[in-house]
Amino acid sequence: MKRSKTEIALIAVSLLFVTIMLLIPLISVIVNSLAEGIDFYFQALSTDFVISALKLTILATVVALVVNTFFGLVAAWAVTKFDFRGKHVLTTLIDIPFSISPVIAGLAFIMTFGRMGWAADYVDMLSAALGTDIQIVFAVPGVLLATIFVTFPFVFREIVPVLTSQGRDEEEAAALMGASGLKIFFKITLPQIKWALLYGVILCTARALGEFGAVSALSKTRGGTFTLPLEIDALYQSGKADAITAAFAVSSLLVLIAIIVLLLRTFVEYKTKRHMS
């Protein structure tokens, strides 16, 4: 089929934009990460600070996935399969992380759990009761809370359209036949939303790995509460030539992870479209 001049022009502009805005910067990261040689590259990735940041990034991502997958399933099932007062309010509240800056979210947690926060006294009381020192702000729990917050809606938002299009007939028929709620979910609902659920999990993972704003507001100690994006920023801000190259090396690690996540996303998107068709 012969393409029109307009179609060719639109494709060319799109490819040019993607090349300039995405491909060239990503290739630049990889090239600059190897500027000091392969030995320096692996040395930069094996420092104590980077390993600590990688561990915390993985921990925050896993915790966010577990919490938000469970919540997303429960909330999406409730919103699409049941009628109750305040349904639209609940849906609007879940979308809050999409509409506010992550930095504001971090500051909100500081004003809640920090020394001047309204929940500080309750945290101190819990610490005294357990005989320990619970810290949320400028500690690992704060990083986990920030990551959960910014990734909150992803699983929910991917599941809701599928459950809505699915309707309630099969679940209601199974309920009339005496099936329990959990049996209905695992036998009827879950098989039909598995690809949408996996797609939401992948999006949640990508967002958690790259979060900077909310985590930076709640992080304080390099090697303790820094995730990979914060460690990259610390290396780059140092201004030293070898540190900047190390920042590119650590950035390349996130780029490689992002490519893997993108490939998984493309595969799941393809499977989702086939399932829907």
Encode pLDDT of 165-216 as tens digits. Answer: 877 777 778 878 877 777 887 787 788 888 888 888 888 998 999 889 899 9
Confidence of residue 1 (pLDDT cuts 50, 70, 90): low
* Pick from 64-78, 122-136, 227-241: least confident: 122-136
* Rounded Cα–Cα distance for residues 216 and 229 (Å): 9
DSSP for 216-274, please give it.
Answer: HHH---TTTT--HHHHHHHHHHT--HHHHHHHHHHHHHHHHHHHHHHHHHHHHHHHHHH
* Pick from 56-65, 99-108, 267-276: least confident: 267-276
Q: Three-state DSSP class for 212?
A: coil
* Rounded Cα–Cα distance for residues 35 and 58 (Å): 27
pLDDT at residue number 263: 84
pLDDT at 272 over 80: no
* Rounded Cα–Cα distance for residues 65 and 31 (Å): 32
pLDDT at residue number 116: 81
Domain boundaries, the chain: 36-276
pLDDT at residue number 59: 95
Confidence of residue 101 (pLDDT cuts 50, 70, 90): confident
- pTM given for the model: 0.86
CATH of segment(s) 36-276: 1.10.3720.10
Average confidence (pLDDT) over 53-78: 93
**134: which residues sit within 8 A by CB, 6+ positions away?**
123, 126, 127, 141
Give the tens place of pLDDT for each residue, 18-48.
Answer: 899 888 988 888 898 888 889 999 999 999 9
